[in-house]
Amino acid sequence: MMTNEKSLEISVLNFFNRVIKNYNLYLFVAILFFVISKWNALFLPYFWDEAWSYIPAIDEMIQKIPCLIPNCIDPELYRGHPLFFYFLSSFWAKIFENSLFALHSFALLVSILTIVSFFRVSKLFIDKKYALLIAVLLMLQEVFFVQSTFLLPEILITLLTLEAFYAYQKKEYIYFLLTASLLGITKESGIIILGVFALYHLINCILRRKRNILSYIWIGMPFIPITIFFLYQSYILGWFFFPLHTGMIDLSWWSVETKIDIIASFLFVKQGRWGLWVLLGGALLGRILFLRITKSKIGFTKNERGFLLFSVLFFVFYCAFSAANFLMLRYLLCLFPFILLFFSLLFSKLLPISFKTLIPMSLLIPFFIWSNYQNSFNSWIDDASINGLDMIKVHKETIEFIEKQKWYDKHINTHFLMWYNLTKPPLGYLSSTQIFENVEYDVEVKPSTDIVIISRIELKDKEHNRVKDDPSFELIKRVENKKAWCEIFMRQ
């Protein structure tokens, strides 16, 4: 009897030990909390680029057929971009439905897969405890948290980059060719990442003194699908890349320097990231000094050195590409997993995993939660900021008020995004298919203007002050949510 009781006790203890060491379970719980925190965002209307650029193109593809061939939908809608993201989104809507919840759920699914992929890649180089921690830290990056339900391609690019890197490291070359090829046909920035993979592979071949020519050539195969896409696009449309986009390339020193400052600030300072680098930097500096004093050495495996090299190449070339082109901060999202893993690898080497080292690292979790809350009171509003979600709610409430007033025949003056919201039912702001017919944007107020709508986003102070100071207009409604606001003026 005692033997049976002891065996049961050992079995229970073994079970709890397995549960305690099951970091996949911890990751699942963290993702569950992440999904719960994002649930309401699944029902929010579309915003910014997803509203005026991606949704119209995806809607047209839904009405026709999901496709990957240039000119299968209006080029003005997809703006010359490779079509894999549009294809996936429209295919998802065909299977389920074309609704806010369905398409935002697709975006959230891609985000969850990205978190899982990052955890899987991280375990190749660092202890599972660190891998779990930085996976949670990725979820808490404000730009990732906000973008995780936006129907935009940046998180898909991040996922495909991580999966391609994992496949390369594990020598799963067929899977690498698949994921890298899909990366290339997702967006133009994917071509830069393919170039980084090619350069990284070339360096590896040279260092390993490989003489087989096929060892050098096969890495170029993922370029084939995107090359065919742009060649065919040039053949039927007369241009490789969308002319408006190429016109935004600015290689002047002032422009490049300004963008480099913006990139560095966003990656290492903004949205609370200064706390991450202060903690990691302080720990690394202290450990380096200790190693110098004790004359100890730390070593990196071949795979670890390979990751560090890839990360440096990726960071340098992608930032250079971003500095030369039109820059939106969300474009930098794919760098975050590699930056987090890069410093975590150094941290784990200098401070071997233990309960004492996990405590300060774990404090980063409540720090970023607090930081995201504090950032909601900052004035910066776009689709990489938590304030962007507040702006969506403000715009939604503003349009609900206008609909109740039944101002469908009124002459309305407003800004670009609000014009789109008032005239495009698929975006989710209007309660019905009835639109506001007489809406102008980005023009001066006319004598015939009845209503002026001004938002914190796309704000023109001069125009705002002119309307406020005009005695013929009265402020009849102000909708406000933290730093996001919208004002409605009516002619008396």
Q: What's the pLDDT tens digit per position in 394-418?
A: 999 999 999 999 999 999 999 999 9
- Tell me: the pLDDT tens digits for 360-378? 555 555 655 555 555 544 5
Quick check: 290 pLDDT over 70?
Answer: no
How far is residue 204's CA from residue 362's CA, in Å, rounded to a whole number? 35
Residue with tokens 């759920």: 105
- Tell me: the pLDDT tens digits for 182-202? 999 999 999 999 999 999 999
The whole-number pLDDT of residue 296 equals 63
> Average pLDDT of the chain?
86
What is the residue type of 336? F
The whole-number pLDDT of residue 492 equals 84
**Other beta carbons less than 10 A from residue 370's beta carbon:** 12
Quick check: 9 pLDDT over 60?
Answer: no
Using a pLDDT cut of 70, give the percent of the chain over it: 85
Q: Mind giving me the DSSP string for 150-168? A: SS-SHHHHHHHHHHHHHHH
Range from 35-49, 72-86, 242-256 carrying the lowest mean pLDDT: 242-256
Q: Mapping DSSP to helix (H, G, I), strand (E, B) and coil, where does residue 208 land?
A: coil
For the chain, domain boundaries? 21-375, 387-491
**Helix count and strand count (H, E) for the chain:** 24, 5
- Tell me: the pLDDT tens digits for 435-453? 998 999 878 888 888 999 9
**Other beta carbons less than 10 A from residue 122's beta carbon:** 24
- Tell me: the pLDDT tens digits for 333-354? 999 999 999 988 887 777 655 5
- How is residue 468 written in tokens? 């406020």
Sign of the four-CA dihedral 320, 321, 323, 327: negative
Quick check: 4 pLDDT over 70?
Answer: no
Mean pLDDT value across residues 229-239: 93
Contact 100, 428 (CB under 8 A): yes
Contact 179, 163 (CB under 8 A): yes
Q: Give the residue among 410, 403, 407 at the shortest CA–CA distance from 438.
A: 410
Q: Mapping DSSP to helix (H, G, I), strand (E, B) and coil, where does residue 326 land?
A: coil
Mean pLDDT value across residues 303-325: 93
How far is residue 408's CA from residue 322's CA, in Å, rounded to a whole number? 42
pTM score of the predicted model: 0.89
How far is residue 314's CA from residue 320's CA, in Å, rounded to a whole number? 10
